[in-house]
Amino acid sequence: MPIDSENFLDLYAKALNTFDPKKIASYCLPPTIIMNDNIKKVMANEIELEQAISHMMTKFSQAGIKTFESKLQQTMRLSDTLFFSKMRWQFYDAKQQLCFGCATSYTLQKMPDKQLKIIVAVIDDDEHKLADIFKRIEYL
């Protein structure tokens, strides 16, 4: 691995576990794109990013998700400052029972201070559990 994207993603998972939109957004570089097979959302600035993350974290909380754990599968260099990381998220409830998993790919950019930032996140909800949870929450 050319840089420590595994450490970055572990820190990002810890930020997610705080459910703090501002902290989570600090791991991204706007404009940030979050997409899946059906939706492409571009957050042009930190405020849009924090609002989208806040909305997402509220839905996770309503669904009983309390903990996120990352499992890095692959990282590769795309250029001097761009990297691609493929990972799998695992979502746990308050009893630390695994609820489901979800594949996600990130395009990361190395900043002048050598820190990484997420610029694109592609969510592959291969088990369709994430979509089911979000759809179910819409009707509550």
Q: What is the pLDDT of residues 63-121, one digit of tens each?
A: 899 999 999 999 999 999 999 999 999 999 999 999 999 999 999 999 999 899 999 99
Cα–Cα distance measured from residue 63 to residue 65, given in angstroms and rounded to the nearest whole number: 6
First and final CA of the chain: distance in angstroms? 44
CATH topology classification for 5-133: Nuclear Transport Factor 2; Chain: A, (3.10.450)
As a whole number, mean pLDDT of residues 3-18 equals 89
**DSSP H or E segment with residue 58:** helix 46-62
**Distance from the Cα of residue 36 to its chain's centroid:** 12
Cα–Cα distance measured from residue 30 to residue 23, given in angstroms and rounded to the nearest whole number: 14
Percentage of the chain exceeding pLDDT 90: 74
Cα–Cα distance measured from residue 28 to residue 109, given in angstroms and rounded to the nearest whole number: 9
40: confidence class by pLDDT, cuts 50, 70, 90: very high
Domain boundaries, the chain: 5-133
2: cis peptide before it, omega within 30°? no
140: confidence class by pLDDT, cuts 50, 70, 90: very low
Compute the Cα dihedral for 123, 126, 132, 133 and give only its sign. negative
